A and B are shown apart, each in its own frame.
Chain A
């Protein structure tokens, strides 16, 4: 997923997150394609940032505040990142609980994501 400012919006880009006005009103859903008409109206809707499909082209384009990107990371990568972050405190009694809980949380998300993708494939058949 890329997080881009609207000056980089181009025709044909696919939304990775719904296009919403400041008041929360959804203008175009996830998976929607940007048309020239939509692009010209982004300003009018007071939208500055949009999320589109694709790999980030710069650190700026990495989505804010998502933590580990569950949609692209493998379980091994997730666990390795967690172990790296906790490497100096992994034997601490409270931290052991947090690490276990965090891994369980990511495992659930990962599984939900995998089964979600399978459902998508099933329904498109």
Chain B
């Protein structure tokens, strides 16, 4: 198939009609840029959306955050877990709301996709902790959203998406290679357009855009490297599935931020297992929310 500029234009124009993030979440994101914001102010914003409040409280009270059944208000959640965690929870709950779990394609299992994404999120958070990155929750969100472009493809450019999956199966190539053949555009780019539309922070957008090629992102940004590494580890462990079973070569720049000795790699995989157990809790709660809403 030849490179088709028209296809890319179609991609761009359709992406213009992408779903928008709830106003509350966008407002929350802006608010938290101000270091002087109070827990009470955050509470006011979230509480204006009752459905979101219920979801946030359900997640913060799960075993995933380590305070099961102990947090009764959003203000309390902010005090115990911090602003960043509450923002990440609100954003996660909203993202799951926007995209149905039901499969649109025989060869793409959305549950497996979210398993991969949540797996990647908890591993990115683990790696962030390991390298003492200042915001572990931001790393969680970058892992969760790194492949969001694939869901956009499935939802809005379904014919192209099916062709890509066919390429993956027939030629045994990665999803990334297949999409370049089919539409000369990548899920990473589409995901970053969505990030712009959602006014996500610059570093988060960059991590979505460059999770396959972190060496091309802003050298000061760490998130793209964390997303890249977490994606590789998630694939290595075979957690979920995001369209193909293959693993990409890890970029040297990204690998070096881990400062890990060869002998410690098996231990890192042991730690990853612990995180994956937590991811299962998160996944179950999110699935329950979907089925009850």
Interface of chain B residues 21 through 70 with chain A (CB within 8 A): 58, 61-63, 68-69
Tell me whether B133 is interfacial, beta carbon within 8 Å.
Answer: no
In the complex, per-residue mask of B63-105: 1 if CB is within 8 Å of any chain A CB, else 0:
1000011000000000000000000000000000000000000
A67: chain B residues within 8 A (beta carbon):
237-239, 276
Is there an interface contact between A23 and B247, defined as CB atoms closer than 8 Å?
no
- Point out the residues of chain B lying under 8 angstroms from A68, CB to CB: 237-238
Secondary structure of the B contact surface, majority rule: helix
Name which residue of chain B comes closest to A86, CB basis.
B247
> Does B268 belong to the interface (CB within 8 Å)?
yes
* B118 in contact with A94 (CB, 8 Å): no
Task: Find the A residue at minimum CB distance from B109.
Answer: A59
Q: How far is the CA of A49 from the CA of B174 in the complex (A)?
A: 32
A77 to B138, CA, bound (A): 36
Q: A-B contact count, CB below 8 Å?
A: 103
- Bound-state CA distance A25–B255 (Å) is 39
CB distance from A81 to the nearest CB of B (A): 7
Contact of B284 among A49, A86, A92 (CB under 8 A): A49
- Contacts A68-B238, A100-B262, A105-B270 given: A85-B247 contact, CB under 8 Å? yes
Contact with B along A88-106 (1 / 0, CB 8 A): 1100111101101110110
The answer, among B246, B270, B280, for a CB contact under 8 Å with A88, is B246
In the complex, what's the smallest C-beta–C-beta distance from B142 to chain A, in angstroms? 18
B248, A89: Cβ atoms closer than 8 Å: yes
Q: Is B195 positioned at the interface, with any CB of A under 8 Å from its CB?
A: no
Report if A84 contacts B (CB, 8 A): yes
From B63, B174, B249, contact of A95 by CB (8 A): B249
The interface residues of chain B lying within 8 Å CB-to-CB of A22 are 58, 61-62, 68-69, 285
B115–A64 touching, CB < 8 Å: yes
Task: Please count how many residues in chain A sit with their CB below 8 Å of the partner chain's CB atoms.
Answer: 36
Residues in chain A near residue B62, CB distance under 8 A: 22-24
User: In the assembled complex, how far is the CB of residue A3 from the closest CB belonging to chain B, in whole angstroms?
Assistant: 10
Contact check, B63 vs A24: say whether CB atoms are below 8 A apart: yes
B284 touches A24 (CB 8 A): no
Are the C-beta atoms of B68 and A89 separated by less than 8 Å?
no
Chain A residues in 8 Å Cβ range of B58: 22
- Is B189 in the interface zone, CB < 8 Å from A? no
Would you call A65 and B270 a contact (CB within 8 A)?
Answer: no
> Does A48 count as interface, using CB distance less than 8 angstroms?
yes
The residue in chain A whose Cβ has the minimal distance to the Cβ of B275 is A65
A residues near B (Cβ < 8 Å) are: 20, 22-25, 46, 48-49, 59-60, 64-68, 81-82, 84-89, 92-95, 97-98, 100-102, 104-105, 108-109
14 interchain pairs, CB-CB under 8 A: A23-B68, A48-B291, A64-B280, A85-B235, A93-B252, A94-B255, A95-B247, A95-B249, A97-B265, A101-B262, A101-B268, A102-B236, A102-B266, A104-B265
